Structure 1
Amino acid sequence: MSKKTPAYLSLEADRVTVRLSRPTECNGVQVDTISLRAPTVRDIRAAQATAGDDDEQRELNLFASLGEVSSKDLEGMALKDYSRLQTGYFRLVQDDEL
Structure 2
Amino acid sequence: MKQATKVPAWLTVSADSVVVKLSRATEANGIQVDSLSLRAPTVRDLRAAQSGGADDETRELNLFASLAEVAVKDLEGLALKDYSRLQAGYFRLVQDDEL
The TM-score range, normalised by the shorter chain, is: over 0.9
Q: Check if 1:64 corresponds to 2:57.
A: no
Which runs of no fewer than 5 residues in structure 1 stay unpaired? none
Which of residues 38, 42, 45 in structure 1 aligns to 2:44? Answer: 42
TM-score, normalising length: structure 1: 0.97
Aligned-residue offset at 1:97: 1.4
Runs ≥4 residues deviating over 3 A: none
CA RMSD of aligned residues (A): 0.6
Q: How many residues align?
A: 97
Question: Which segments of 5 or more consecutive residues in structure 2 lack a partner in the other structure?
Answer: none
Deviation at 1:91, TM superposition (A): 0.2
**Counterpart residue number, 2:34:** 32
Q: Does 1:6 align with 2:8?
A: yes
Deviation for aligned residue 1:37 = 0.1
Provide the TM-score with structure 2 as the length reference.
Answer: 0.96
What percentage of aligned pairs have identical amino acids?
72
Tell me the CA shift for residue 11 of structure 1.
0.2
Letter in 2 for 1:65: S
